Amino acid sequence: MQFNQYLNETCSKQNSLVCVGLDVDLEKIPGFLKKKKDAQVNFSKAIIDATAEYAAAFKINTAFFEAYGEDGWRAMREIVNYIPDNIVKIADAKRGDIGNTSKMYAKAFFEELSFDAITVNPYLGHDAVKPFLSKKDKGIFVLCHTSNAGAEDFQKFTGNNQKLFELVAKKVDSWNEKNNCGLVVGATFPKEMKHVRGLVPKLPFLVPGLGAQGGDFDLAVKYATDNRRSGAIFNFSRNIIYASSGADFAGKAADQAKKMRDEINNRINI
């Protein structure tokens, strides 16, 4: 099955457009877990168990695991394998390099770690992205217009009467021969999101910025989904996984995931 078809079917079956971001910072997890072995794994598994009912995807921010070397990679492997097979598994790794290097990145995340999709940096162009597109059932979300404050430093650079983020959107659309391409488009820039959706009506969006970064819920859902029942997944990390620092952290995470799912669904009548 093509990745984008799988993503849409998962959203439909789960009745959700929520992506739970596993940005597992050991400094922020509940204190009683820090004292135990495999703290990242145990925390992540509890979050997955609590929120899977309300999620269409889980996104693992690989930096929070890579920082711990061999132990972090082992933890990441255990966590991705723990995510239910009926939910999309995304590596937030932002990779992208010359062809042979990207080929190894694709092997690492798609074969060795069994992710369904990965975030990709397009700066090096098509030959850097192509290795991630060789299998139709594995997807990419290419950085287009991101949610961080510095996004405008480069992404709005204008040349040949178009901005860089516009060129990225159109290029990725042209690479979507196997229906496995998507874009990262931040909720903190709703005008740009609306514009990108107009340029690429069919590409799915991975949307950060609705939680701690303060993106506008109404505009993000309206522009990313174009009032459809698919077309985007909305990432929530800190406001779900750190909803509580106490023993009730998993239950509070579930409550918050359900709330986010319902907030989105109520706006598009899923």
Q: Is residue 143 within 8 Å of 174, Cβ to Cβ?
A: no
243's CB contacts (< 8 A; 6+ apart) are 249, 252, 253, 255, 256
252-260: long-range pairs with CB below 8 Å, 24+: 253/47, 253/50, 253/51, 254/50, 254/51, 254/53, 254/54, 257/18, 257/20, 257/50, 257/51, 257/54, 257/55, 258/53, 258/54, 260/18, 260/54, 260/210, 260/211, 260/234, 260/236
The active-site residue out of 45, 94, 156, 252 is 94
Instruction: Note if 171 is an active site residue.
Output: no
The set of catalytic residues is 94
